Amino acid sequence: MQHAPNVIYIVDDESLMPDTSDFSAYKQSNSVNFTIPNYEKTFSQSTSRFKISTGEKVSLALQVASFSMPAIGLLAGGISAGLRVKELLTNSSELSETEKLEKEIAEEELTRFLVNHAVTPNIANEAGFSFPPGHPRSGTAYRLHPLAGYADESKNKLYIPHESFDELLFEEREAELIKLLVKLGATQISIKHMHCLNTASDTSGSVEAGNNIVEGSVSAGVKKTNSSHRSWDREFLLNPRQENIKKIDDREYAWLKFEPNWQTILIAREFGGCTKASLELKEKTAFSSKSAASLGVKFPTLNGSVSGDIERNMDSNHNIFIEVEFVLMQSS
């Protein structure tokens, strides 16, 4: 594989990787290893030894549905729009023809996802992929660091857990910004974290029942909106030495060239002798994976009499407000 994929999904062993996997070259048990130019994969070529349980299908489907990436948009859109988790849980003989088709499409999309993204920890290691401490973990999806190919080589094959992708990048950017401010001669750095989480749910359902005495139906809908806010402060008091304040080498910083506000402070400090500045650091950027996300799941139908839908929307905002004071620069 010439280029590191944007997304990988860790599985326990190679039996969960289709024979047409993009990582077939690394598979120890793969008996046939060849490629045909301009050949488009067909999943009928996967052998019977490729098996994934119903529980794994559902877990994977829900996890994949949280992505907002073109490569797996079909499945994510399908689950929220019409491919129910119910179809993956129910035996095909109990489904209608339409539901059987939905089940077949959902399973094919899951197979497609595994073909493109599933790897074992051993294969990830052999391919040179790196992870945060404690990773990789089975059943977890990872995204390639957004600065792969733009920063130093340590980012080129660094994978971050999808579920904490934005949080970890935010912490990385904050740490690099503090490093920059300290190197510029900061005497005081005041940091205020503001975190807001908005959650909205829309639940609807209906019950239809009947016998030889009475027939009836009930329908209901509930909408709930919750919002929570929290904030916390941190402060650094420093005593920089003039001899340690030197011109910044941007090669020591991965994010500096992508942060216009940081560049403004750098110029103001190095060329204007700035002694006080403020800026805001936002979690959501062009590199983020988060947007206002929604996931719709239909309750399984019980004896054809109970049905319902639940849709949840979550949106979080985490911003940092920073005020910094610098030591007065001595004129040379």
69-80, pLDDT tens digit by residue? Answer: 444 444 444 444
Residues in Cβ contact with 180 at an 8 Å cutoff, skipping those fewer than 6 apart:
248, 253, 256, 262, 266
pLDDT for 283 equals: 86
Q: Name the domain count of the chain.
A: 2
Residues 299, 239, single domain; the answer is yes
Smallest CA-to-CA distance from 318 within 184, 146, 192 is with 192
∠ CA 238-241-245, nearest 5°, is 100
Q: What is the pLDDT of residue 151?
A: 81
Residue 253, in any domain of the structure: yes
**Ramachandran quadrant class, 184 (left: phi over 0; alpha: psi -120 to 50; beta: rest):** alpha
Residue 309 is part of which domain span?
163-326
175 and 317 co-located in one domain: yes
Are residues 271 and 231 part of one domain? Answer: yes
Residues 138, 168 within the same domain: no
Residue 31 lies in a domain: yes
Please tell me the distance from the alpha carbon of residue 186 to that of residue 29, in angstroms, as a whole number: 57
Which residue has better confidence, 237 or 43?
A: 237
Region 142-168: mean pLDDT is: 91
- Indicate whether 130 belongs to any domain: yes
Q: Which residues pair with 304 in a beta bridge?
A: none
Displacement of CA 309 from its chain's centroid (Å): 25
* Lowest mean per-residue pLDDT among 59-68, 117-126, 296-305: 296-305
Residue 8 pLDDT exceeds 90: yes
Q: Of 99, 94, 140, 103, nearest to 120 (Cα)?
A: 140
Question: 87 with 183, same domain?
Answer: no
Asked whether residue 89 carries a pLDDT value surpassing 60, the answer given is yes
Report the C-alpha gap between 202 and 207 in whole angstroms. 17
What pLDDT score does 202 carry? 56
**Is position 152 within any domain?**
no
Of residues 291, 314, 280, 288, the one with CA closest to residue 193 = 280
Residues 180, 319: one domain? Answer: yes
Tokens of 88: 């993956």
* Residue 1 belongs to some domain of the structure: no
Residues 168 and 293 in one domain: yes
- Percent of the chain with pLDDT strictly greater than 70: 64
Between CA 315 and CA 318 the distance in angstroms is: 10
- Do 125 and 169 have their domain in common? no
Could you tell me which residue, 220 or 26, shows the higher pLDDT? 26
Band the pLDDT of 291: cuts 50, 70, 90. Answer: very low
Let me know whether 207 and 103 are in one domain.
no
* Co-location of 185 and 317 in the same domain: yes
User: Would you say residue 34 lies in a domain?
Assistant: yes
Residue after which a domain boundary falls, among 109, 144, 179: 144
Coil, helix or strand at residue 209: strand
Q: For residues 223 and 253, what is the distance between their CA atoms, to the nearest angstrom?
A: 46
What CA–CA distance (Å, rounded) separates 161 from 129? 13
According to the model, what pLDDT value does residue 314 have? 57
Average pLDDT for 220-245? 80
What average pLDDT does the segment 91-104 reach? Answer: 78
pLDDT band of residue 21 (cuts 50, 70, 90) is: confident
53 found inside a domain: yes
Instruction: Give domain status of residue 155, yes or no.
Output: no
Percentage helix, strand, coil, to 5, in the chain? 35, 30, 35
Residue 319 has pLDDT above 60, yes or no: yes
User: Global pTM?
Assistant: 0.70
**According to the model, what pLDDT value does residue 302 have?**
31
Q: Is 187 found in the same domain as 62?
A: no
The region of weakest confidence among 170-174, 183-187, 190-194, 201-205 is 201-205
Mean of the pLDDT values across residues 67-92? 50
Average pLDDT, the chain: 75
The answer to whether residues 172 and 308 belong to one domain is: yes
Average pLDDT, integer, range 94-108 = 79
Last residue of a domain, one of 144, 175, 194: 144
| Unique residue bearing structure tokens 């090669």 | 251
Q: Is the pLDDT of residue 113 over 90?
A: no
Identify the bridge partners of residue 201 per DSSP, sorted by sequence position: 224, 312
**Residue 207 CB-half CA count within 13 A:** 3
Q: How far apart are CA 290 and CA 286, in angstroms?
A: 10
Average of per-residue pLDDT across 76-101:
62
Query: Measured between alpha carbons, how far apart are the two ends of the chain, in Å?
Result: 54
How far is C-alpha 185 from the chain's CA centre? Answer: 36
Q: What is the pLDDT of residue 199?
A: 66
Q: Are strands 7-10 and 118-119 parallel, antiparallel or unpaired?
A: parallel
Residue 306 has pLDDT above 60, yes or no: no
Which range, of 107-111, 136-140, 154-158, 173-177, averages the lowest pLDDT? 107-111
User: Are the C-beta atoms of residues 290 and 170 closer than 8 Å to each other?
Assistant: no
Last residue of a domain, one of 95, 113, 144: 144
